[in-house]
Structure 1
Amino acid sequence: MQPQPRLSEVVDAILRYLYSHPDAADTVDGICEWWLPRHWRVDARCVEAALLRMLAQGLVRRRENADRHVVYLRADKASRSSPVQ
């Protein structure tokens, strides 16, 4: 089994995914499953730590859905999709 990637590698992989898929939004489990390279075995706690770092840097935002699931998406998504006034 390969060692778990470093936190900075997880952050980079998530950013690459978000910039390739600008409308993406998913839970921590979904990010572990779908956004990261298949050959990686990344613990959900590592993904959560990466997302916290990205939240602090303003790169992603956190949204709680009506069903109480927390999803993460690009921080600039709201500004791109809101109408200009």
Structure 2
Amino acid sequence: MDPQPGLSEVVDAILRYLHSHPEAADTVDGICEWWLPVHWCVDIPVVEAALARLQAQGLVRRRENADRHVVYSRPEDEAGPRSAQA
């Protein structure tokens, strides 16, 4: 069994995923399941800490949807053509 990755490795994996999937948006559970390598077993608090670090650096956007679920994505100004100003 692989050891649990460290915080920096989780941060890097999330950034790689967002680079490859710029329109991605998901909950912490979804990020654990879909954004991280399948062979990793990462505790939710580690993913939450990685997302908090990325949010503090302005690399991830945190928002609460109408169902009160917290969803993470790239910041609007990082998302590409949708954010272009006329």
Same fold judged by TM-score > 0.5? yes
Find the counterpart in structure 2 of residue 13 from structure 1. Answer: 13
C-alpha displacement of 1:49? 0.2
* Residue of structure 1 in register with 2:82 after alignment: 81
Unmatched 5+ stretches in structure 1: none
Question: How far apart, CA to CA, are the structure 1 residues paired with 2:46 and 2:83?
Answer: 32
Structure 2: runs of 5 or more not aligned: none
- Aligned to 1:62, the other structure's residue is in SS state strand
- 2:53 aligns with 53
User: TM-score, normalising length from structure 1?
Assistant: 0.91
Q: Which letter does structure 2 place at the counterpart of 1:82?
A: S
Residue 40 of structure 2 aligns with an amino acid whose one-letter code is W
Alpha-carbon distance in 1 for matches of 2:65, 2:81: 20
Q: Give the root-mean-square deviation of aligned CA atoms.
A: 1.3
1:39 aligned partner: 39
Q: Distance in 2 between matches of 1:60 and 1:80?
A: 17
SS of corresponding position for 2:31: helix
Question: % of aligned pairs identical?
Answer: 74
Distance change in 2, residues 1:16/1:3 (3 Å): same
In the alignment of these two chains, the number of paired residues is 84
